Amino acid sequence: MVQRVKQFPDTLQAHVEKELPKLKETTAQIGGKLWDGVNYLWDAMKDPEVPQEAKFIAIAALLYFVSPIDLISDFLPGGYADDGLVLALAVKAVADILEHHEVSLNSTAALNPGD
């Protein structure tokens, strides 16, 4: 999926932004660390100082999260386990890239699950 994001980053980022209500609704229901991961990746996607490689990973993970096609259906018990795993791996990868490039993420806290 990251390769696809590299081909169409602006279009796919716009799709993620369009899916903001679903991100808010789902993470408000689940809460906790999943919300923290979504918020971190959202900030990475929106921050102009973040290297492209990290942006691509953030966009791909957020697309996976809002996609109706998952390894484990979200309607099954434990259905968000795969989403959580993808988000956790993406957060780690983005954090490693930022550390390598010595970039700090400008956390906007733009998302609010309670809205």
**Blockwise average pLDDT, block size 10, the chain, 115 residues:** 78 85 74 80 92 94 82 57 85 94 69 45
What is residue 107's predicted lDDT score, i.e. its pLDDT?
Answer: 62
Tokens of 102: 């010595």
What is residue 99's predicted lDDT score, i.e. its pLDDT?
Answer: 92
What is residue 82's predicted lDDT score, i.e. its pLDDT?
Answer: 79
What is residue 16's predicted lDDT score, i.e. its pLDDT?
Answer: 85
CA within 13 Å, CB half, 114: 2
What is residue 95's predicted lDDT score, i.e. its pLDDT?
Answer: 94
CA within 13 Å, CB half, 61: 29
What is residue 80's predicted lDDT score, i.e. its pLDDT?
Answer: 65
pTM of the model: 0.75
What is residue 93's predicted lDDT score, i.e. its pLDDT?
Answer: 96
Buried b (16+ CB within 10 A) or exposed e, 27-51: beebeeebbebbbbbbbbbbbeebe
